[in-house]
Amino acid sequence: MRLAQTLRSASFKLSAAYVGLFTVSVGVLAGLTYLLAVSRLEADFRTHIEAETHMLSGEYASGGAPSLLHAISERLRNRLAGGLDYTVIDAQGRRLAGALPPGSCDAGWKTIYGPPDGDEPAGQLENLAVLVTPLPQGYCLMIGDDFGKVSGFGSLILRTFGWVILVSLTLAVAGGIFLSSRFLKRIDAINRTAEAIIEGDIRQRIPRRAAPDDLDRLAATLNRMLDRTTELMESLRHVTSDIAHDLRTPLGRLRNQLEDAKATAATPDEFRVTTERAIAEVDGLLTTFSAILRIAQIESGSRRAGFKPLSLSALVNDIGDSFEDAIAEAGKSLRIAVAPDVVVQGDAELLSQALINLLENAVLHTPRETAITISLELCEGQACLSVSDNGPGVPEADRERIFKRFFRLERSRSSAGNGLGLSIVSAVTQLHGAQITVCDNKPGLNVTLRLPIYSD
Is residue 238 located within the same domain as residue 310? no
Task: Kindly report the backbone phi and psi dihedral angles of residue 109, in degrees, each rounded to the nearest multiple of 5, phi listed first.
Answer: -90, 140
Q: What is the pLDDT of residues 292-317, one digit of tens each?
A: 777 777 777 777 778 899 999 999 99
Residue 196 lies inside a defined structural domain of this protein: no
Query: CA-to-CA distance for 329 and 348, rounded, in angstroms?
Result: 27
Do 147 and 8 share a structural domain? yes
Determine the pLDDT at residue 4.
61
**Do 139 and 228 lie in a common domain?**
no
Dist. CA 241–CA 238, nearest whole Å: 5
Which structural domain, as residue segments, surrounds residue 320? 303-452
Is residue 291 a contact partner of residue 436, using CB atoms and an 8 Å limit? no
* pLDDT tens for each residue of 3-58: 665 556 666 666 677 777 777 887 788 788 878 888 888 888 888 888 988 998 88
Indicate whether 354 and 399 sit together in one domain: yes
Q: Which residue, 278, 300, 322, sits at the end of a domain?
A: 300
CATH, residue 254: 1.10.287.130
Number of domains in the chain: 3
Q: What does the pLDDT look like over 81-110, one tens digit per residue? A: 457 888 888 888 888 888 777 778 888 888
Residue 182 within any structural domain of the chain: no
* Within-domain flag for 205: no
39/84 same-domain check: yes
Least confident stretch, 159-173, 240-254, 279-293, 424-438? 240-254
Mean pLDDT value of segment 262-281: 77
pTM across the whole model: 0.50
Do 147 and 40 reside in the same domain of the chain? yes
Q: Specify the pLDDT at position 81.
A: 43
Label residue 1 by pLDDT band (50, 70, 90): very low
Asked if pLDDT for residue 117 goes beyond 70, the answer is: no
Give the model's pLDDT for residue 63. 86
Number of residues that make up the chain: 456
- What is the arithmetic mean of pLDDT over 137-142? 89
Of 139 and 243, the structure prediction assigns the larger pLDDT to 139
Are both 35 and 119 inside the same structural domain? Answer: yes
For 158-200, write each residue's pLDDT tens digit: 888 888 888 877 887 777 777 777 777 777 777 888 888 888 7
Query: What burial class does residue 287 get, using C-beta atoms within 10 Å of its C-beta: 0-12 exposed, 13-18 middle, 19+ buried?
Result: middle
Look at residues 300, 327, 342 and tell me which one is the last residue of a structural domain. 300
